[in-house]
């Protein structure tokens, strides 16, 4: 009997003896009290973490944040390790595990890195008011990492942590994955194979009363277009054609016309360069083009990503994009190449929906109101997607809510929500671990 079936059976006929019920309530009260008592320390930890630059490519900073959180988890009794990311060109991950019971195995997912590199003007937090922090990574997702630690401390104080099976994986490359993905996500996938339940502590859509039960997958694409260089006076002639820039424009416009209305499918051209000659950056984040107004463009490169809710939707979109690119204007040749791997979709499964129901009940019992699922159109790709197909149940978005403008210098998080999110997470894990 797999774990999902057991939980579904439990949800249908949940009966419990009064002494056991009273005991559970007592433990939950200790959990709540612990979080209230430790919340100020948790906020100090968050402030410290936010002020450490941990842009994905700042390996030293990513490791420094990992060491900060590692020390907290060591103190709680976890066996921890900071892995090396040398094999995939990143800083590595923080992995922590505690095993002490026969109950379900939980995988808790966070990440150490942010999108704000050392050259970003956004390096330290400031308080917008007494509760709103504006800072790099405050909601995406150092706030979520701190919530994990605060919840674990509460379970420790309640005397139940050592009887649980929990693995925490905080990756060092969520914002810019190392290559190959088979290596950069290996530890996460192995943890998913071990686990029954996966909980992601990203911040969902910023609303504390929503949770993610499905996420779209994401992969990169590159469009390359070549035309015939010539004097601009000869453009549109039979011998010269339209040039690379016109052809790239046609293709992008056709992508929009043919695919932009499909639900949950997006494809974003992140940069475009074109002209007589090109020089792409080695990290594929842009480049330089040379050209003259009186010369027909010879080359264009466009790079972007594509996000889909299912493997089938992704494959169909790829085929349509390839077909569009192949119907070239006169004098041009186009090729579209899709990246290997990428983030897989996180499908909305029966188990995920059931876990949402349990989480929503926890939230209501604690006085925080019900929880509804996030529209997958409003949730980007995240590390929890790599648990798809391995765990029975998974939800994401348990992290710091109340924030806006992730990935920009306007990123914020509501510090008042740290304790609430930690309480909901800790009680959820406790109830599921000791469901009998």
Above 70 in pLDDT, residue 314? Answer: yes
Q: Is the distance from CB of 431 to CB of 162 less than 8 angstroms?
A: no
Which of the four pLDDT bands, split at 50, 70 and 90, describes residue 30?
very high
Q: Is the distance from CB of 197 to CB of 396 less than 8 angstroms?
A: no
pLDDT in tens, 107-140: 999 999 999 999 999 999 999 999 999 999 999 9
The second-level CATH assignment, the architecture, of 20-215+346-433 is: 3-Layer(aba) Sandwich (3.40)
Above 70 in pLDDT, residue 405? Answer: yes
Above 50 in pLDDT, residue 34? Answer: yes
Torsion sign, CA atoms 389, 394, 398, 401: positive
Residues near 303 by beta carbon (within 8 Å), at least 6 away in sequence = 220, 221, 222, 223, 269, 270, 271, 284
- The region of weakest confidence among 25-39, 315-329, 394-408 is 394-408
Q: Which two tokens stand for residue 62?
A: 């990513």
pLDDT in the model for residue 194: 98
Which of the four pLDDT bands, split at 50, 70 and 90, describes residue 310?
confident
Which of the four pLDDT bands, split at 50, 70 and 90, describes residue 392?
very high
Above 50 in pLDDT, residue 17? Answer: no
Above 60 in pLDDT, residue 9? Answer: no
Which of the four pLDDT bands, split at 50, 70 and 90, describes residue 7?
low
Q: Mean pLDDT across the chain, nearest whole number?
A: 92
Residue that is written with structure tokens 């209305």 in the block: 261
> Is the backbone of residue 331 left (phi > 0), alpha (psi -120 to 50) or beta?
left
Residues near 289 by beta carbon (within 8 Å), at least 6 away in sequence = 273, 274, 275, 276, 277, 278, 279, 299
Closest by CA position to 52, among listed 74, 68, 70? 68
Closest by CA position to 249, among listed 315, 318, 334, 320? 334
DSSP symbol at 309 = S
pLDDT in tens, 66-83: 999 999 999 999 999 999
Question: In whole angstroms, how far apart are CA 303 and each of 60, 140, 249?
Answer: 29, 24, 13
Percentage of the chain surpassing pLDDT 70? 94
Q: Over range 179-197, report the average pLDDT.
A: 96
pLDDT in the model for residue 4: 59
Which of the four pLDDT bands, split at 50, 70 and 90, describes residue 168?
very high
pLDDT in the model for residue 18: 42
Q: Which H, E and C letters describe 227-258, residue by residue?
A: CCCCEHHHCCCCCCCCCHHHHHHHHHHHHHHH
pLDDT in tens, 48-67: 999 999 999 999 999 999 99
Residues near 248 by beta carbon (within 8 Å), at least 6 away in sequence = 223, 225, 272, 274, 300, 302, 334
Dist. CA 275–CA 168, nearest whole Å:
48
Q: 220-338 sits in which CATH class? A: alpha beta
Which of the four pLDDT bands, split at 50, 70 and 90, describes residue 406?
confident
Q: Where do the CATH 3.40.630.10 domains begin and end in the chain?
A: 20-215+346-433
Residue that is written with structure tokens 């919840």 in the block: 151
Dist. CA 86–CA 41, nearest whole Å:
33
Q: Is the distance from CB of 313 to CB of 328 less than 8 angstroms?
A: no
Above 70 in pLDDT, residue 3? Answer: no
pLDDT in the model for residue 59: 98
Q: Where do the CATH 3.30.70.360 domains begin and end in the chain?
A: 220-338
Which of the four pLDDT bands, split at 50, 70 and 90, describes residue 379?
confident
pLDDT in tens, 246-283: 999 999 999 999 999 999 999 999 999 999 998 888 87
Dist. CA 288–CA 74, nearest whole Å:
48
Which of the four pLDDT bands, split at 50, 70 and 90, describes residue 2?
low
Q: Which two tokens stand for residue 60?
A: 């030293």
pLDDT in tens, 89-99: 999 999 999 99
pLDDT in tens, 192-243: 999 999 999 998 888 889 999 999 988 999 999 999 999 999 999 999 999 9
DSSP symbol at 386 = G
pLDDT in the model for residue 13: 43
Q: Which H, E and C letters describe 25-36, residue by residue?
A: HHHHHHHHHHHH
pTM for this prediction: 0.84
Q: Is the distance from CB of 188 to CB of 167 less than 8 angstroms?
A: no
> Which residue would you say has higher pLDDT here, 342 or 153?
153
User: What is the DSSP code string of 33-102?
Assistant: HHHHHHHHHHHHHHHHHHTS--BTT-HHHHHHHHHHHHHHHHHTT-EEEE---GGGTS---EEEEEE--S
Percentage of the chain surpassing pLDDT 90? 81
Above 80 in pLDDT, residue 12? Answer: no
Helix (H) or strand (E) holding 157: helix 143-157
Q: Is the distance from CB of 335 to CB of 343 less than 8 angstroms?
A: no
Residue 275 main-chain phi, psi, to 5 deg? 160, -155
């Amino acid at each position: 009997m797999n774990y999902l079936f057991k939980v579904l059976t439990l949800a249908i006929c949940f009966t419990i003896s009064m002494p056991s019920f009273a005991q559970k309530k007592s433990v939950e009260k200790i959990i709540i009290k612990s979080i209230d008592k430790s919340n100020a320390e948790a906020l100090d930890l968050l402030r410290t973490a936010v002020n450490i630059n941990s842009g994905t490519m700042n390996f030293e900073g990513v490791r420094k944040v990992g060491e900060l959180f590692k020390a907290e988890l060591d103190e709680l009794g976890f066996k921890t390790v900071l892995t090396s990311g040398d094999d995939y060109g990143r800083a590595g991950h923080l992995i922590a595990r505690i095993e002490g019971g026969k109950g379900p195995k939980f995988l808790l997912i966070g990440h150490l890195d942010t999108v704000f590199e050392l050259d970003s003007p956004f390096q330290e937090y400031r308080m917008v008011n007494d509760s709103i922090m504006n800072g790099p990574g405050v909601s995406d997702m150092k706030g979520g990492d701190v919530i994990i630690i605060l919840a674990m401390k509460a379970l420790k104080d309640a005397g139940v942590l050592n009887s649980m099976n929990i693995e925490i994986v905080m990756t060092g490359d969520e914002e810019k994955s190392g290559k190959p993905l088979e290596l950069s996500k290996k530890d996460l996938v192995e943890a998913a194979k071990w686990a029954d339940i996966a909980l992601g502590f990203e911040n969902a859509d910023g609303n504390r009363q929503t949770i993610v039960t499905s996420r779209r997958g994401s992969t990169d694409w590159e469009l390359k277009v070549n035309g015939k260089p010539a004097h601009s006076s000869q453009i549109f002639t039979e011998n010269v054609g339209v040039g690379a820039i016109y052809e790239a424009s046609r293709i992008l416009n056709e992508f929009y016309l043919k695919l932009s209305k499909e639900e949950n499918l997006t494809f974003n051209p992140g940069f475009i360069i074109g002209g007589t000659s090109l020089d792409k950056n080695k990290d594929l984040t842009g480049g330089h083009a040379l050209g003259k107004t009186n010369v027909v463009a010879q080359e264009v490169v466009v790079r972007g990503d594509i996000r889909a809710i299912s493997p089938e939707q992704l494959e169909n979109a790829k085929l349509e994009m390839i077909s569009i690119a192949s119907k070239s204007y006169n004098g041009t040749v186009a090729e579209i190449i899709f990246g290997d791997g990428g983030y897989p979709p996180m499908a909305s499964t029966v188990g995920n929906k059931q876990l949402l129901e349990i989480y929503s009940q926890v939230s209501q019992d604690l006085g925080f109101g019900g929880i509804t699922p996030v529209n997958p159109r409003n949730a980007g790709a995240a590390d929890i997607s790599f648990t798809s197909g391995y765990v029975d149940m998974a939800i994401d978005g348990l992290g710091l809510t109340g924030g806006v403008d992730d990935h920009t210098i306007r990123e914020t998080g509501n510090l008042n929500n740290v304790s609430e999110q930690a309480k909901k997470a800790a009680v959820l894990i406790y109830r599921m671990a000791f469901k009998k």
